[in-house]
Chains A and B, each alone.
Chain A
């Protein structure tokens, strides 16, 4: 096995922070540090250069959107990219779009509910570390439920919609194939069909694909 992924954590709730550290260590991540506020995380980040930071959105001092701003600051740093995975009690599309405004590479945004599924969480961290994306399924579902004036999504088959949702969550064709238990070839056919029906240019990279799909879902 290769080098373990180095993770730093910022979560102001002690119980949750300690639980998270334990969980990630058991899942074979190297937790380089855990802080209770943005300043602490920045200190750890500067010192230990983690691959991924996992952080809460509501943090001291104002307990509003500190995590969002901290994420933007960390992503704007020069040097090797640090993946950012935001955790929150609630997901808001407005926050998601704020996060991926320029690019979706190395960004994740998950409900804290996902902490109950260790494998799910580990997968998201690995994807973000690789420069991929991890968007919460509930967020994607909310976007796909949207009514719009003219809705090309209704032209998609049920299977295609399923594939579109998994693409929007940031999963690779490989992962989608595994999840749906169908061949990679079939997935590629579905993806091509979806892109053609929605009038989108095919994107080679997973993270650019996420951006394209989410941008499409946001439009009226």
Chain B
């Protein structure tokens, strides 16, 4: 986790350094270029400043975007647009070679703006047509640049080393260049119009949510359009630095600046969208933690995360093998429509949900996959938690059933002993008594003695059986409840015991016997280990719970796990959903406490 974060921050830092260096270099390049423009009548200072701001804003926006979103190619693209914007400003550099290069390479920002218009915001151009048009435009511009480089030569190439650089450079094959210019320009404008049409189509298809996201495309398209008009005239006269209508130029600067700002804002918003995915995960966790799984809340969280109010969520219900809508009704499987895109969460084997949303969201596949991953993760999590919870409930119920069944079995055995063997033996003993009385009357001392011996044996057997029955389950507990049984225990204990039982009535049998055995075992432990002179037993029940506390004034230091016989009792108490706790400080006595819920 930490390591991943470390890698990530190093990558971000690297991009930030590169972006900063590029921005500084680009600013210097642009400023130096613009400064050369000052003093020419066709370049009033306001124009120069506007030109600089327009280009620089692109570079700055690009640097920030690159630093913040190193994974997105829009940042470097913006920087490149800003840089190429300034290339033309070096067209009047005193060194002819430099100004020649600048004049030849100027205008590349146009096809790059085209790339921006079609690739924003993901950095990738969707659709073959768009890619074809943009590549065609770049090739066309490259060809024009090569033509200018070769056909339009600086004066110095002809031996005039000291001639001042002017716009009226000697052009060797001006005629040829002039012949190439119109078709080249027509192609360039055609491709630009194609790009603008594709951008318009993107805006129309996008829908309301998508249009909001694509607002920078609209601005950049305007800038492109204005630039084409401006530089179209430029190319027609083949005069670098000459703008057509100054109003068009001014508009171009304003729109260009706005476009750069809008692109940057949009990219950072996309970054916010990623934060929204994190919010979505938190929302989901919150819902899971509070047990509030209202699909409407989930839908709203999803809409926030995707920035698309039209999002609809259809959770898949495994039990009925169908999708449900926000109200919980079963609906047919959602389908993609002309203005709706469909994203499925989960696999065909384990469907989780279907989301219908604005198609423009598909432009940012990272966002969609992050959101679906979050939903799927949460669905898996919930399913696992539900499964664990179900198994746990099953296990609890089964443990409680075992205890209850054991208890019922003890009761049955005790009752059987009482009604069967014990009664028979008593009956037999009574008959033996009668026989003995008769034998006494008829005066047969040997017979009387023999019958007396038998009678004694029988009484011993009855006594043993009684103790056995008590060990299985004390009859007084079944017959009279915990209060009487605890009093009986206290009276039989080998040390003075205070007993206090405060119960509103009888408890369920399994709870009564469990508490009884806890007290019996607790008192036995006090007798065996505590060296106590006194013990107390308190049983209290109210509000659906019952607790028992056995305290002594002995040596303390008792432990639940060491041969105290409490482990079995702890299991028994746990099976009924209760807890058992020992507090035993050496020298300060021992307290054993059991708490149990009482089902109503």
Tell me whether B394 is interfacial, beta carbon within 8 Å. no
B429, B484, B533: the one contacting A95 at CB < 8 Å is: B484
Specify which chain B residues have a CB less than 8 angstroms from the CB of A118 in the assembled complex. 433-434, 436-437
Inter-subunit contact B470/A90 (CB<8 Å)? yes
Specify which chain B residues have a CB less than 8 angstroms from the CB of A115 in the assembled complex. 426, 429-430, 433
Q: How far is the CA of A112 from the CA of B495 in the complex (A)?
A: 29
| Interface hits, B407-442 → A, CB 8 Å | 415, 418-419, 422-424, 426-427, 429-434, 436-437
Tell me whether B12 is interfacial, beta carbon within 8 Å. no
Inter-subunit contact A20/B484 (CB<8 Å)? no
B437, B479, B492, B534: the one contacting A142 at CB < 8 Å is: B492
Specify which chain B residues have a CB less than 8 angstroms from the CB of A64 in the assembled complex. 478-480
Q: In the complex, how many angstroms separate the beta carbon of B352 from the nearest chain A beta carbon?
A: 56
Of chain A, the residue at the smallest CB distance from B493 is: A147
| Interface hits, A1-39 → B, CB 8 Å | 13, 15-16, 19-20, 22-23, 26
- Chain B contact patch, size range: 35 or more
Q: How far is the CA of A115 from the CA of B462 in the complex (A)?
A: 12
Specify which chain A residues have a CB less than 8 angstroms from the CB of B422 in the assembled complex. 89
Tell me whether A185 is interfacial, beta carbon within 8 Å. no
Tell me whether B525 is interfacial, beta carbon within 8 Å. no
Inter-subunit contact B494/A116 (CB<8 Å)? no
Specify which chain A residues have a CB less than 8 angstroms from the CB of B300 in the assembled complex. none
Inter-subunit contact A19/B475 (CB<8 Å)? no
Q: How far is the CA of A119 from the CA of B440 in the complex (A)?
A: 12
Inter-subunit contact A26/B437 (CB<8 Å)? yes
Q: In the complex, how many angstroms separate the beta carbon of B235 from the nearest chain A beta carbon?
A: 111
Tell me whether A99 is interfacial, beta carbon within 8 Å. no
Inter-subunit contact B480/A113 (CB<8 Å)? no
Q: In the complex, how many angstroms separate the beta carbon of A77 from the nearest chain B beta carbon?
A: 23
Inter-subunit contact B423/A13 (CB<8 Å)? yes
Per-residue 0/1 for A95-124: is the Cβ within 8 Å of any B Cβ (1 yes, 0 no)? 100000000000000001101111100000
A interface residues, how many (CB within 8 angstroms) = 33
Specify the main secondary structure of chain B where it touches its partner. Answer: helix
Inter-subunit contact A142/B466 (CB<8 Å)? no
Inter-subunit contact A220/B433 (CB<8 Å)? no
Inter-subunit contact A116/B432 (CB<8 Å)? yes
Specify which chain B residues have a CB less than 8 angstroms from the CB of A94 in the assembled complex. 476, 480, 484-485, 487-488, 491
Specify which chain B residues have a CB less than 8 angstroms from the CB of A116 in the assembled complex. 429-430, 432-433, 455, 458-459
Of chain B, the residue at the smallest CB distance from A15 is: B427
- With A63-B415, A92-B488 already in contact, the answer to whether A220 and B432 are too (CB < 8 A) is no
Per-residue 0/1 for B448-460: is the Cβ within 8 Å of any A Cβ (1 yes, 0 no)? 0000000100110
Inter-subunit contact A90/B484 (CB<8 Å)? no
| Interface hits, B524-546 → A, CB 8 Å | 533-534
Inter-subunit contact B491/A13 (CB<8 Å)? no
- With A93-B488, A220-B496 already in contact, the answer to whether A58 and B427 are too (CB < 8 A) is no
Inter-subunit contact A112/B426 (CB<8 Å)? yes
Q: How far is the CA of A220 from the CA of B427 in the complex (A)?
A: 38
- With A94-B488, A115-B426, A142-B491 already in contact, the answer to whether A65 and B480 are too (CB < 8 A) is yes
Inter-subunit contact A58/B488 (CB<8 Å)? no
Q: How far is the CA of A112 from the CA of B478 in the complex (A)?
A: 19
A23, A26, A95, A143: the one contacting B480 at CB < 8 Å is: A95
Tell me whether B173 is interfacial, beta carbon within 8 Å. no
Per-residue 0/1 for A142-185: is the Cβ within 8 Å of any B Cβ (1 yes, 0 no)? 11001111000000000000000000000000000000000000
Inter-subunit contact B496/A19 (CB<8 Å)? no
Per-residue 0/1 for B466-510: is the Cβ within 8 Å of any A Cβ (1 yes, 0 no)? 100110000110111000110110011111101000000000000
| Interface hits, A48-70 → B, CB 8 Å | 57-58, 63-65
A-B contact pairs, 12 of them (CB 8 A): A19-B431, A19-B434, A64-B480, A65-B480, A89-B423, A94-B476, A112-B426, A116-B429, A116-B433, A142-B492, A146-B491, A146-B496
Starting from the known contacts A64-B478, A92-B484, A142-B491, 11 additional A-B residue pairs (CB-CB under 8 Å) come to A13-B427, A15-B424, A19-B434, A22-B434, A26-B434, A90-B475, A95-B480, A115-B429, A147-B494, A148-B496, A149-B496
> Which A residues have a C-beta under 8 Å from some C-beta of B?
13, 15-16, 19-20, 22-23, 26, 57-58, 63-65, 89-90, 92-95, 112-113, 115-119, 142-143, 146-149, 220
